[in-house]
Structure 1
Amino acid sequence: MSLTIYGVLRSRASRPVWLAKELGLDYRHVPVIQGYRLPDPGAPDAPLNTTSTAFRAINPNGLVPSVDDDGLILHESMAITLHLARKHGGPLAPRDGSEDALATMWSFWAVTTVETPALSTRGGADAIAQAMPVLDRAFAVLADALQAGGGWLVGGRFTVADLNVAEVVRYAAGVPTLFETHRAVRDWLAVCHARPAFQAMWAERDAEPA
């Protein structure tokens, strides 16, 4: 059995790496950097990046992350984490069809509802002002779900759904008023980030070039 995860941790590759650490999986990490972060991604001495021919042979979209799981090539971070959780089981995995549906729903919700406005908060005061109403509504929905679920999104325990949503919600960390308004979200995110697997992933992320 072999698993290779492609992508630097200063990308959405943080999601499958965090999950792999939660599951205790043996994996190889290939730090493919985003081409836009390099002055000349096509230079002969450029590191492996999303424009490199070698990586485009794995993912022709030129995006990270990708994984090779025993010959199964997968792209899209949420698809990867859901696949790995289902495959390896344990408490992070859905226990039945209903939990699987809920984990998928929350993962898609994070990407379609939260990710774009959360990322836009890094663009300055005007961008934050535009994003705030959208994020405020989304955080209210998330807070209600967490309170109804005993502090978690699915099955009353930490699952791949929490991991996927937490990895999107943290993009809004630069707007602390959101988290003060929605303290259930703030407290849940802090518990997610206190997990040893997240801490290990984050330490590796911090060691990467900025």
Structure 2
Amino acid sequence: MRTIIHKADSRGYADHGWLKSYHTFSFAGYNNPSRMHFGALRVLNDDFVAGGNGFGRHPHSNMEIISIPLEGTLAHSDSMGNEGTIQPNEIQVMSAGTGVAHSEFNGSEVDPVKFLQIWLFPNKENVRPRYDQIQINPADRKNKLQQVISPNPEDEGTWIHQDAWFHLVDLDVDKEVEYTLKGEGTGVYIFLLEGQLEVADETLSRRDAIGITDISSVNLKASQNASVLIMEVPMV
């Protein structure tokens, strides 16, 4: 087993007033050669957008883009004709493929929106752009793994063009789960949203992360009530 720890306070940070963003990996003005990606996981941004603000329409290509709202309402519009809002307990995915333009704004003029934006390298380039949005039930992750993303359209959750699996779990104190890897040549990147977690002989606190490779399974135990995002991704 090999591990890499990314403590919350080691992330890049940008404060634009209306936007406050923590970057786990190099992004925009944050350039750290030792923090470029974890396998296919290229971007993990922890964003705060003030009321009435957002990102104007901008292009993407050949990237799998995942948005996970944590608080508030995120308004989305894109060149495929999709327009609407996403809120906590919803997952949005967009396969940029041959090219797509989109905008993301706070859906409220007053309250902030907090969300994760995650980019993965795809396993196939120049696919037809695709959008999906699903609702998830928080009861389905209470002390158990809830799959929200996979490579397979038939599976639970939504899917992307990559051999990756995302799970959420909310653990009560002293509860534990075992995550068994599904792919070949994959690793897991575990991002602690809230609480405190014991994993791989390490203690994670809020917004800490650990990347683990060369394992077939990993045990997660909450030392405080914990909300966790588990991302299994190819390492090549």
Q: Structure 1 length normalisation: TM-score? A: 0.31
Instruction: Answer 1 or 2: which has greater helix percent.
Output: 1
Q: Structure 2 length normalisation: TM-score? A: 0.28
Instruction: Answer 1 or 2: which has greater strand percent.
Output: 2
Structure with bigger RCO (C-alpha 8 Å, 6+ apart): 1
